[in-house]
A and B are shown apart, each in its own frame.
Chain A
Amino acid sequence: MTISPSFRRPTLALLGFSLIGLPMLAGPLTAAPAAAPAPKTAIAARQAGYKKMGAAMKALNDQLKNDAPAKAAMVAAAQTIAATARDQSRLFPAGSGPTAGVPTDALPNIWTDRATFDGQMAKLVAESGKLVGIVNGGNADAIRAQAKATGGTCAACHRQFRADS
């Protein structure tokens, strides 16, 4: 929920223009594994995934505002977050950063610091998996705590690897 126009965009665009030739040169030499989706497809898919997780997180937090949260809605939301989280990490193939030619807030350090990024992704998968179990347990206070922990992993990774636009 930031309000300032992103000052990073022009920088990223410049970076994009200067690097745009590189993938073309490197393409034939280092072909990506067959399983990895094309950069633009990957960007669209992961953005849709994050949107789905954002909506599910809101649905969960909306319930947790109530004194008597509806369990079914919370279970559905937690499952959406956990299932989507498992798919996200393979949607960051090489070349799907700022150089991809479509708008993305993914920062270049995802690919230069891949081990840290993958570690954060694994943390999200672990915390959201735990969330499903705790939501099924039905204890509202425990769910609140775990929703916060899961959201914390989202925020921590975003601070590191997402442009603050």
Chain B
Amino acid sequence: MPIDAPSRRSLVWDIYIRLFHWLLVGLLGFSWWSGERHEMEWHRLSGYAILFLLIFRLYWGFVGSGTARFVHFVRSPRTAFAYLRNLRTRPYRATAGHNPVGGWSVVLMLVSLIAMVTAGLFAVDVDGLESGPLADYVSFDQGRVAADLHGLLFNLLLALVALHIVAILYYLLRLRHNLIGPMIHGRGTMPVEQATDLPVGSPWKALIGLLIAAACTWAIGFR
């Protein structure tokens, strides 16, 4: 690939994806802190906020901006392995949005987050004093299993987050490609042919998604 391949700056991540990402970072930290401190009222509220974000993200994965859509970034394992092999060729040439391996990392993180939040909804503490909003649908023992799963899944998520950060550092230091900036301001350099046809999600569709997420979260957490 020629070094002076035509490229330009363009929107990579829309505002909804960036807000999702950074709010999730903050809420995960807060959830961990409140859980450790047994501040369960705060822990539950933080979990509801994450649930809200996840529902919106799933919705946005179908109707959102180009790079947000699952069809854009969920690629076949074969494509992912081919991408890994091509990482050795220099210079590294960025793809718009999630690359074929990063897409799978996002899928794994989303699945673990959904599983962790779901387990939390049914979790019961060892004293029967604190519980998730749906714990009255399960027995004490089942609620305890949910609580253990909730903790195990958090550890899995920590591992995935660590991998995520290591990968970002690898791109930054070895491939000289900054993935952090675009997640903050939204714009990045990419090949022209990819930069031109990124559909941006409409604000109306986003509003509908926010309402759906709020309604679902309300129905589960505050019934």
A interface residues (Cβ-Cβ under 8 A, vs B): 1-5, 50-51, 53-62, 65, 151, 154-155, 158
B interface residues (Cβ-Cβ under 8 A, vs A): 32, 35-36, 38, 40, 43, 123-131, 135-136, 139-141, 143, 147, 150-151, 154-155
Given A1-B147, A62-B136, CB of A57 within 8 Å of CB of B128:
yes
B126 nearest CB neighbor, chain A only: A54
Given A2-B36, A3-B35, A58-B135, CB of A155 within 8 Å of CB of B127:
yes
Given A1-B40, A1-B150, A3-B150, CB of A55 within 8 Å of CB of B129:
no
A57→B35 CA distance, assembly (Å) = 20
Residues of B within 8 A of A3 (CB): 32, 35-36, 150-151, 154-155
A4→B150 CA distance, assembly (Å) = 11
Residues of A within 8 A of B128 (CB): 53-61
> Total A-B pairs in contact (CB under 8 Å)?
66
Do B124 and A58 touch across chains, with their CB atoms under 8 A apart? yes
Residues of B within 8 A of A158 (CB): 127
A3 nearest CB neighbor, chain B only: B151
Majority-rule SS of B interface residues? helix
A55-B128, A61-B128 given; 16 more Cβ-contact pairs under 8 Å: A1-B35, A1-B151, A2-B36, A2-B38, A3-B36, A3-B150, A51-B140, A53-B127, A53-B128, A54-B126, A54-B127, A55-B139, A58-B143, A60-B128, A65-B136, A155-B129
B31 nearest CB neighbor, chain A only: A3
Residues of B within 8 A of A1 (CB): 35, 38, 40, 43, 123-126, 130, 147, 150-151
A59→B143 CA distance, assembly (Å) = 12
Do A55 and B150 touch across chains, with their CB atoms under 8 A apart? no
Residues of A within 8 A of B131 (CB): 58, 61
CB distance from B215 to the nearest CB of A (A): 21
Residues of A within 8 A of B154 (CB): 3
A86→B147 CA distance, assembly (Å) = 28
Majority-rule SS of A interface residues? helix
23 A-B pairs in the complex with CB atoms less than 8 angstroms apart: A1-B35, A1-B123, A1-B124, A1-B125, A1-B126, A1-B130, A2-B151, A4-B36, A5-B155, A53-B128, A55-B128, A57-B127, A57-B129, A58-B135, A58-B140, A59-B140, A61-B131, A65-B136, A151-B127, A154-B129, A155-B127, A155-B129, A158-B127
Residues of B within 8 A of A58 (CB): 124, 128, 131, 135, 140, 143
CB distance from B149 to the nearest CB of A (A): 11
B125 nearest CB neighbor, chain A only: A1
A155→B130 CA distance, assembly (Å) = 11
Residues of B within 8 A of A151 (CB): 127, 129
A56 nearest CB neighbor, chain B only: B128
A151 nearest CB neighbor, chain B only: B129
CB distance from A127 to the nearest CB of B (A): 13
Residues of B within 8 A of A60 (CB): 128
B40 nearest CB neighbor, chain A only: A1
CB distance from A94 to the nearest CB of B (A): 25
A154→B129 CA distance, assembly (Å) = 9
Residues of B within 8 A of A5 (CB): 155
Residues of B within 8 A of A4 (CB): 36
A5→B152 CA distance, assembly (Å) = 10
CB distance from B68 to the nearest CB of A (A): 29
A105→B139 CA distance, assembly (Å) = 23
Residues of A within 8 A of B126 (CB): 1, 50, 54
